[in-house]
Amino acid sequence: MFDNLSNKLDRAFKTLKGQGSITEINVATTIKEVRRALVDADVNYKVAKTVTDNIKEKALGRDVLIAVSPGQLMVKIMHEELTELMGGEKQDINLKGDPAIILISGLQGSGKTTFTGKLANYIKKQGRSVMVAACDVYRPAAINQLQVLAEQVGVEAYTELENKNPVQIALNAIEHAKKTHKKVVIIDTAGRLAVDEAMMKEIAEIKKAVNPTETLFVVDSMTGQDAVNTAKTFNERINFDGVVLTKLDGDSRGGAALSIRAVVEKPIKFISTGEKMEALDLFYPDRMAQRILGMGDVISLVERAQQAFDEDEAKRINKKIRKNQFNFDDFLTQLEQIKKMGDIKDLVGMIPGVGKALKDVEIDENAFKPIEAIIKSMTPEERENPDIISGSRRARIAKGSGTDVTQVNNLMKQFNDMRKMMRSMNKMAGKRGGLGNLA
Ligand code: GDP
């Protein structure tokens, strides 16, 4: 599901790698690529533009935390935007009423009858008595199909083969449901191959007569923007309560899932992902956004980093790096913040690609301990000004921290290499005209 979009977004975010903070210049290409990826996925152009404008606004000027790359931060922002785009919170169907009446609408072939069976199955599993009613008076095969599905999931199907009045059948079905003490009635209606006046009139009449608790509009997600347009037309006419997206198992683009909410302003409530009666899921915008981005782990990594890292502290350290004043105290603070993010093995596992590669590699949870011990054995003056740490001081530090001189030398070398790198990054940033907001 959504493979193409996921891959393209992944590529778009990768172009941001290696930058210290998100600036107008380095974000422009990424934003353009994200917009193109969305449009290619058949997302409505206006929607794609709004999304990318919002992402840009949120991303610009954000200092990038030490633990995450700008690309990772962009993934997080994108996740928030996509979740919002698809409606934010999960929306349940309303099953209040005695019985609750659920009216199913949509074009022929969209998956209405299949969904009616699935929904009956879903409601039955919640322990409610449920009945389905066949109101397609034009296609006897549709009535038969519903009967078969009802039998499969073990619920009653109400049918009137001789009756050609769908409004009457629906009302009779509700009467029957009351008599047999059903808590929920699901009414499957007739669809046509394209939106037409006769179908709209019929469904509007049924709706008016039965006054449903919930009217759902079923749409084939593989039809992309057509799905969105059909939903818009139906909604203008029958004002439905929610959308059911079907055939998401076959939809690799995802445009309908992404734009329907923004265009129609009605929530997606269910997604159907196969022909089996169990292949029905409630629609969770945040989970869907995660699936589209294909980077659930990056999102939690950034969330954890945002929780663990103090923004003011990050700014303070940024400033010190810019002035070439980064010292062992700062290093220790950084280590402590990384440790706050949690189990190292967990964290490494969250980095896409790395997790799998390191599956069987032992990661030493205590790797930071000697480093901390060494830094803590330094005097405040030494930490502040590492250049004074001579050979005899190193021997003293090794002794005090329970390590040996080689370990101290290694740490000193790593620290000096790091400072050298920071210095050259500062120089480069200076040449670029002071963009150096290096985290
Ligand atoms: P209706 O005309 O709207 O009642 O549509 P149907 O329920 O008869 O579905 C039309 C076709 O789509 C049938 O062959 C179904 O098996 C198939 N179908 C329905 N839902 C899904 C789904 O979620 N995934 C897939 N792959 N096929 C589906």
Please report the pLDDT score of residue 438 as a whole number: 35
For the CA of 116, the nearest atom of ligand 1: 7
Q: Is 272 within 8 Å of 45 (Cβ atoms)?
A: no
| pTM of this structure | 0.71
Ligand 1 binding pocket (C-beta < 6 A) is 106, 108-114, 145, 191, 246-247, 249-250, 272-275
Summary mean pLDDT of the chain? 84
Total Cβ atoms within 10 A of residue 52: 22
Please report the pLDDT score of residue 436 as a whole number: 36
Q: Which residue has the least CA distance to atom 13 on ligand 1?
A: 111
Which of residues 338 and 101 earns the better pLDDT score? Answer: 101
Tokens of 76: 């997080």
Percent of the chain at pLDDT exceeding 70: 82
The 3-class SS string of the chain reads CCHHHHHHHHHHHHCCCCCCECCHHHHHHHHHHHHHHHHHCCCCHHHHHHHHHHHHHHHCCCECCCCCCHHHHHHHHHHHHHHHHCCCCCCCCCCCCCCEEEEEEECCCCCHHHHHHHHHHHHHHCCCCEEEEEECCCCHHHHHHHHHHHHHHCCEEECCCCCCCHHHHHHHHHHHHHHCCCCEEEEEECCCCCCCHHHHHHHHHHHHHHCCCEEEEEEEHHHCHHHHHHHHHHHHHHCCCEEEEECCCCCCCCHHHHHHHHHHCCCEEEEECCCCCCCEEECCHHHHHHHHHCCHHHHHHHHHHHHHCCHHHHHHHHHHHHCCCCCHHHHHHHHHHHHHCCCHHHHHHHCCCHHHHCCCCCCCCCCHHHHHHHHHCCCHHHHHCHHHCCHHHHHHHHHHHCCCHHHHHHHHHHHHHHHHHHHHHHHHHHHCCCCCCCC
Nearest-CA neighbor of 24 among 54, 59, 48, 73?
A: 59
For the CA of 110, the nearest atom of ligand 1: 3
Q: Which residue has the least CA distance to atom 9 on ligand 1?
A: 111
114 C-alpha to center of ligand 1: Å? 6
pLDDT band at 401 (very low <50, low <70, confident <90, very high): very high
Task: Tell me the pLDDT tens digit for each residue of 336-368.
Answer: 777 766 666 666 655 554 555 555 666 666 777
110 C-alpha to center of ligand 1: Å? 6
- Sheet hosting strand 156-158, strand order edge to edge: 156-158, 130-135, 184-189, 100-106, 214-220, 242-246, 268-272, 280-282
Which of residues 33 and 302 earns the better pLDDT score? Answer: 33
- The span from the CA of 54 to the CA of 394, in Å, is 52
What does the pLDDT average to over 403-425? 88
104 C-alpha to center of ligand 1: Å? 14
ipTM: 0.98
Nearest-CA neighbor of 297 among 366, 350, 343?
A: 350
Please report the pLDDT score of residue 439 as a whole number: 35
95 C-alpha to center of ligand 1: Å? 24
Across-strand partners of 188? Answer: 104, 134
Please report the pLDDT score of residue 434 as a whole number: 38
pLDDT band at 102 (very low <50, low <70, confident <90, very high): very high
Total Cβ atoms within 10 A of residue 365: 10
- The span from the CA of 186 to the CA of 157, in Å, is 10
Percent of the chain at pLDDT exceeding 90: 48
Please report the pLDDT score of residue 42 as a whole number: 86
For the CA of 107, the nearest atom of ligand 1: 3
- The span from the CA of 157 to the CA of 50, in Å, is 45
- The span from the CA of 251 to the CA of 224, in Å, is 9
- The span from the CA of 112 to the CA of 119, in Å, is 10
Task: Say which amino acid occupies 391.
Answer: G
Please report the pLDDT score of residue 288 as a whole number: 85
Question: Is residue 108 marked as binding?
Answer: yes
Within 8 A by CB and 6+ apart from 76, the residues are: 68, 298, 299, 302, 303, 306
Please report the pLDDT score of residue 263 as a whole number: 92
Q: Is 212 within 8 Å of 102 (Cβ atoms)?
A: yes
What does the pLDDT average to over 221-244? 94
Please report the pLDDT score of residue 341 as a whole number: 67
Please report the pLDDT score of residue 9 as a whole number: 79
Question: Is residue 342 marked as binding?
Answer: no
What does the pLDDT average to over 308-317? 74
Tokens of 334: 């950084």
- The span from the CA of 136 to the CA of 119, in Å, is 18
- Lowest-confidence segment of 69-78, 109-118, 334-343, 406-415 by average pLDDT: 334-343
97 C-alpha to center of ligand 1: Å? 29
145 C-alpha to center of ligand 1: Å? 11
Task: Tell me the pLDDT tens digit for each residue of 11-45.
Answer: 777 776 555 566 666 678 888 888 988 888 888 88
Which of residues 307 and 374 earns the better pLDDT score? Answer: 374
What does the pLDDT average to over 208-220? 97
Domains of the chain: 1-90 (1.20.120.140), 100-283 (3.40.50.300), 309-439 (1.10.260.30)
pLDDT band at 246 (very low <50, low <70, confident <90, very high): very high
Question: Is residue 56 marked as binding?
Answer: no
Question: Is residue 106 marked as binding?
Answer: yes
390 C-alpha to center of ligand 1: Å? 76
Q: Is 195 within 8 Å of 233 (Cβ atoms)?
A: yes
Within 8 A by CB and 6+ apart from 159, the residues are: 133, 134, 143, 146, 147
For the CA of 136, the nearest atom of ligand 1: 4
Test site for ligand 1: of 275, 276, 277, 281, most ligand atoms within 8 A of the Cβ: 275
